Amino acid sequence: MSSFKNVFESYDWNTLEQEIYAVEAEQVRAVLDKEKVALEDFKVLIAPAAKPFIEEMAQRSNALTKKRFGTTIQMYIPLYLSNECQNICTYCGFSMDNKIKRKTLTDVEILKEVEHIKSLGYDHVLLVTGEANRSVGIDYLKNAIALIRPYFSNISIEVQPLEQEEYEVLRQAGLYAVLVYQETYHKATYKMHHPKGKKSNFDYRLETPDRLGRAGIHKIGIGALFGLEDWRVDSFFTALHLKYLQKTYWKTKYAISFPRLRPHEGELQPKVEMTDADLVQLICAYRILDEDVELSMSTRESEVFRNHIIPLGITSISAESKTNPGGYTVEKESLEQFEICDERSTAEITEMIHSQGYDVIWKDWDRNFTIGF
């Protein structure tokens, strides 16, 4: 069966890197003068040569986003179900070699966490786990989705990659979206950071969005973890992945996230630094490339950065997140995946969004629409 792997293998990392770093200012000008921007142009927009054009890019990103999404920001919150994990990932707090007691929530505990999240106003939830297929496999996930379905209009997951049939089962249980990040599209670097566990299989992960598309999942979120490799090349591959998926699974919605490495138990220092200006440039470049893709911002980022990013092209934001199972009420001190940076309350974040003239959206889906016809 054909998949993104075929497309991916027709590109060479080093060639792309050279092309991106060789871009000159006149090329940037020419791309910004176009009405419709193609994938080739995206290379130009993320190049160092585009940095002096960042204000113009930001203005354009702002206008395009308003046209498509209005003056609104969607709110969501993660709910960590488990930190059990059989992978070694050098950058992650849940890594198997991190010898700390693990926790997987029971039904009663999940509902306690749900009660807390609902009291904050959330209606879109993101369920997160590590990768522990025996204890937190398809049955556990299906049960969790069915359990919380009465309380949320929109349920997403960020868990280990699954098989197409398993995604179909979860969709019928009420699942709306799946987020699966490649971490890096650099094969050798990927191997280095994922030495052990199922996750060490680069190709299986790379083809996960294909399985999601075939399973008819409503929304697929992709992205790279910035800090492992050159963010520009990784972002080009992400955009390539996006364009491939849009053409192949045309009924699916897409979202992109921009996680930058954050401190955690075990501390890996980023190999390549991505500055705030770099991240703004990237967000604007994605918006100019694609008017419709959802762009999401987590609490990994700082207060100051999040305050300023609202009008620059993002469409959804989380607040008050806990990255450990039970973190809201059940077991506040369990092992967390990473330290969040913006610790403000949901009320403070919504106030910050309103003060910029944006409306906060809690509900943009109906559980009755995810009925598995």
Partner 1 sequence: MEDVLKIADKTFQSRLFTGTGKFSNSVMMRNALIASESELVTVALKRVELKDDSDAILTHLSANHIQLLPNTSGVRTAKEAVFAAQLAREALETNWIKLEIHPDPRYLLPDPIETLKAAEELIQLGFVVMPYIHADPVICKRLEDVGVQCVMPLGAPIGSNKGLRTVDFLEIIIEQSNVPVIVDAGIGAPSHAAFAMELGADAVLVNTAIAVSQNPVAMAIAFKKAVEAGRMAYLAKLAPVRKQAEASSPLTSFLNV
CB of 176 to partner 1, least distance (A): 10
CB of 368 to partner 1, least distance (A): 6
CB of 32 to partner 1, least distance (A): 20
Q: Determine how many CB atoms are found less than 10 A away from the CB of residue 121.
A: 14
Token pair in block for residue 9 = 């293998």
Range in contact with partner 1 (rule: CB under 8 A) among 11-19, 25-33, 44-52, 247-255? 247-255
Nearest to 139 by CA among 159, 113, 117: 159
User: Is residue 69 close enough to count as binding partner 1 by CB under 8 A?
Assistant: yes
Q: Which is nearer to partner 1, 81 or 155 (CB)?
A: 155
Q: Are 209 and 248 in contact (CB under 8 A)?
A: no
Q: Which is nearer to partner 1, 74 or 324 (CB)?
A: 74
Length of the chain: 373
b/e code 31-55 from CB counts within 10 Å (16+ = b): bbeeeebeeebbbbbbbebbbebbe
User: Is residue 71 close enough to count as binding partner 1 by CB under 8 A?
Assistant: yes
Nearest to 49 by CA among 21, 69, 73: 21
CB of 155 to partner 1, least distance (A): 14
User: Is residue 129 close enough to count as binding partner 1 by CB under 8 A?
Assistant: no
CA 331 and chain centroid, separation: 25
- Please give the size of the binding site for partner 1, defined by CB under 8 A: 27
Q: Which is nearer to partner 1, 254 or 258 (CB)?
A: 254
Q: How far apart are CA 346 and CA 321, in angstroms?
A: 9
**Whole-angstrom Cα Rg for the chain:** 20
Report helix, strand or coil for 82: strand
User: Is residue 120 close enough to count as binding partner 1 by CB under 8 A?
Assistant: no
Candidate list 253, 271, 308, 344; residue touching partner 1; CB under 8 A: 253
Token pair in block for residue 145 = 């989705």
User: Is residue 244 close enough to count as binding partner 1 by CB under 8 A?
Assistant: no
Candidate list 107, 343, 351, 364; residue touching partner 1; CB under 8 A: 364
Nearest to 360 by CA among 69, 108, 117: 69
User: Is residue 368 close enough to count as binding partner 1 by CB under 8 A?
Assistant: yes
Token pair in block for residue 162 = 């699954």
Q: Which is nearer to partner 1, 38 or 371 (CB)?
A: 371
Strands (E), the chain: 72-80, 124-128, 154-158, 177-179, 219-222, 253-257, 294-297, 316-318, 359-361
Single-letter amino acid, residue 52: P
Range in contact with partner 1 (rule: CB under 8 A) among 96-104, 126-134, 160-168, 359-367? 359-367
User: Is residue 258 close enough to count as binding partner 1 by CB under 8 A?
Assistant: no
User: Is residue 115 close enough to count as binding partner 1 by CB under 8 A?
Assistant: no
Q: Which is nearer to partner 1, 124 or 264 (CB)?
A: 124
User: Is residue 359 close enough to count as binding partner 1 by CB under 8 A?
Assistant: yes
User: Is residue 250 close enough to count as binding partner 1 by CB under 8 A?
Assistant: yes
User: Is residue 29 close enough to count as binding partner 1 by CB under 8 A?
Assistant: no
CB of 294 to partner 1, least distance (A): 10
**Backbone φ, ψ for residue 114 (5° rounding):** -60, -45
Among positions 138-197, residues that touch partner 1 (CB under 8 A) are: 153
Single-letter amino acid, residue 55: E
Residues near partner 1 (CB under 8 A) are 66-72, 153, 246, 250-253, 292, 354, 357-359, 361, 363-366, 368-369, 371, 373
